[in-house]
Every structure is written in structure tokens, then in C-alpha cells.
Amino acid sequence: MSAEPSAVSISPRYSREVVEERDAHADLLADFRAGMLEPPRSLPPKYFYDARGSQLFDAICDTPEYYPTRLEADLLERHAEAILEASGARTLFELGSGTSRKTEYLLAALEARVSAPHYVANDVCGEILDEAGARLLQRFDQMRVDSLCGDYAAALTHLADVSGAQADGPRLFAFLGSSLGNFEDAEAAALLRRIRDTMNPEDRLLLGLDRVKPRPVLEAAYNDAAGVTAAFNLNLLSVLNTELGADFDPEGFEHRAPFVEDLSRIEMHLVSRRQQTVRVSEPEAVLEIAEGEVIRTEISRKFSLEAIDRLLTAAGLEHAAQWSAPEEWYSLFLLRPGAD
């Protein structure tokens, strides 16, 4: 969440720009007011990712239960060259890039194709952008890395504003990790439409999506035995305590992550262990939270092909190519903007 510039910004091959449309704190205030003052309570998942939340997500990716990262990494490792070949890209632009670890497969394939590769990374977490930037500059000695710190919408607006001046060749947009699955249908379609409207006709979008699979596999992935996902979920309360001057007691809540079959999604819940009163400074509020009451902190959709095609049609995107893990447990879709 930090917008402070860091040492890596002194490299001539690295820049970090804050691209918020509204400052991150104002966003959180508005979302807290909209979702948390009355039951049913919920918050959008982007607030998980302060520096600690980003580290915890990285640790989730290393748990034996969280299969999406491994399946997607395996697909990227095996098909990066084909993806770059099919896209013809000279620049990679990634939304919600996190550590960019899996992205390194794409970046290596990009570097093999072009002499001065350009990677534009976007994330709400400034710390993770700088860490990734420093690592990438070391590995790829001709690469330029520009980080856009802010949410997806702000990064896309920024890209649309500068694209005349800076668009170097066809671009590959990447939206990996099934992060699209953190949005309900209308928001997901609007975000995809936004991406499509930012693309030039020769640009391509690589979209990584988690697919429907047996409930035990899904529920284990979000309820890992070591409790890393629980710590990630509960860390949200620490973010609220710091950012809003609240006094949530993380011990007063329990992590749960059921698969809600009729909506085809995991829901991340914080369940109140007791009747409790939480005081918040900004916005000034007193929350009376009942025993057993649920705060919904995330949805994580598991997609059927029909659901994916409905979204793509609504967004004006067309299939160019597709790569899937065994049993279609995870898929990468290469998409092109359709005609208006």
C-alpha cells in the first residue's frame, strides 16, 4: 500500500509511479462505509495487500494445497515461447503483478525475442513492485521495468493516457493468478471491457483462470493445514486497525473458506467468535458484531467454459489460443480485442 519511492527507483532502468485515481485511503474509507457498517458485512479483497499481506500471499503460493500457482507456473514455463510468438509482443503489461515470479517465464521469452524488452507492472502494493523490480533488473540486464502503483482501473487509465507516446510495438497484457475471479460478473465484465478498450487491435491479453474442480481440492487450497491462508485473511483486520484507527481483535475472529457450489466460488469469511464491539476512528463508528456473524473478505470464482465465454462476449474479447492444465483444472486464454 505504501507509495514511498525506494532505492530501486534510482536505477535508470526502473521507475515507479503512483497512478491512483482516488487516494488509496479514500478508497478504503468509501468501501468500509459501503460494506462494513451494517450486516451483511464485506470488503473488496484489494485491502489484503499491505506489505505483510503480500508476503503472506507469496507464502500461500508455496503451500502444498494452493494448486493454482503451480498449475499456472507450469503452463507458463511450457508455453511462454508459444505465447510470445502468438502475441508478437514487444512489451508486457501486467495487472496485479505481485512478485512477478511466474511472469519471469514470459519475460525470458520476451527477452529472447527483442533486444530492449519493456515490462510494465501494476499492483496496489508498492513494496512488492519494488522488490520484484530489483530482482528483475538483476536477471534481465537489458530490460526496462516501469511500475504503476494503484488499482487496475487507474493503471489502465494511465496506460491509455501515455500509450500514444510509449506504446512500443504490440503489447501483451497479462492478468494472471485468476485474479479476475475476485470479481462478481458485472464487475469482471466491466474490468475486461476496460482492458479491451485500452488495447490496440494488435495487442493481446493473456488471462489465467482457475476452473471448476472437486470441492475437497478447492476447500483445501483455501484452508491450508499450516494456517497461512487464515493468517492472510486475519491480516485484513490489522490493515483496518492501522489505516482506520480501528480496534478489531484478530483473536476474536476465525477464518473460514467454504466452496459455495451454486455460485461456483470459494468465499473467504472472517467469522466472529463472540458478540463484540469494534470502535473505528475514521469513519467514526461503533460496530456491534454478533457471535457467528460473517465478514466476507473475498470471493474466488471457479470458472466453467460457459461462464468464461459469457464474460468474454460481454467484454468484446475473442479467443486467439488456449492452454490448459490436465483435467482442465486451470487455463490460460490468449485473447484479442473484437470488433466494436
Q: Which residues bind ligand AVI (CB under 6 A)?
A: 60, 68, 177-179, 181-182, 222, 229, 268, 298, 300
Amino acid letter, 317: L
Backbone dihedral angles phi then psi of residue 92, each to the nearest 5 degrees: -115, 130
Q: Which does residue 124 bind out of ligand AVI, ligand SAH, none, counting CB within 5 to 8 angstroms by kind?
A: ligand SAH
Contacts of 143 (CB under 8 A, 6+ apart): 13, 107, 111, 116, 117, 118, 119, 136, 137
Identify which range of 33-41, 175-183, 236-244, 298-306 contacts ligand SAH by CB under 6 A. Answer: 175-183
Q: Which does 267 bind (CB under 5 to 8 A by kind): ligand SAH, ligand AVI, none?
A: none
Distance, in Å, from the CA atom of 247 to the CA atom of 154, rounded to the nearest integer, reads: 31
Considering only CA atoms, which of 128, 161, 159, 155 is closest in space to residue 61?
128
| 147 backbone dihedrals φ, ψ, rounded to 5° | -105, 135
| Residue 97 touches which member of ligand SAH, ligand AVI, none, C-beta under 5-8 Å by kind | ligand SAH
Helix then strand then coil, in percent of the chain rounded to 5, is 45, 25, 30
Is the distance from CB of 145 to CB of 133 less than 8 angstroms?
Answer: yes
* 300 interacts with, out of ligand SAH, ligand AVI, none, CB within 5 to 8 A per kind: ligand AVI
Indicate the residue among 54 and 229 with the shorter CB distance to ligand SAH: 54
**Residue 195 sits in the site that holds ligand SAH (CB under 6 A):** no
The yes or no reply on residue 126 touching ligand SAH (CB under 6 A) is no
Among 19, 83, 125, 205, binds ligand SAH (CB under 6 A): 125
> What does 151 interact with, of ligand SAH, ligand AVI, none (CB < 5 to 8 A by kind)?
ligand SAH
Residue of 20, 27, 123, 131 interacting with ligand SAH (CB under 6 A): 123
Torsion angle defined by CA atoms of residues 120, 122, 126 and 129, in that order, rounded to the nearest 10 degrees: -50
DSSP 222-241: TS-TT-HHHHHHHHHHHHHH
> Applying CB under 6 A, which residues contact ligand SAH?
46, 49, 54, 57, 69, 96-98, 102, 122-125, 128, 151-152, 176-177, 179
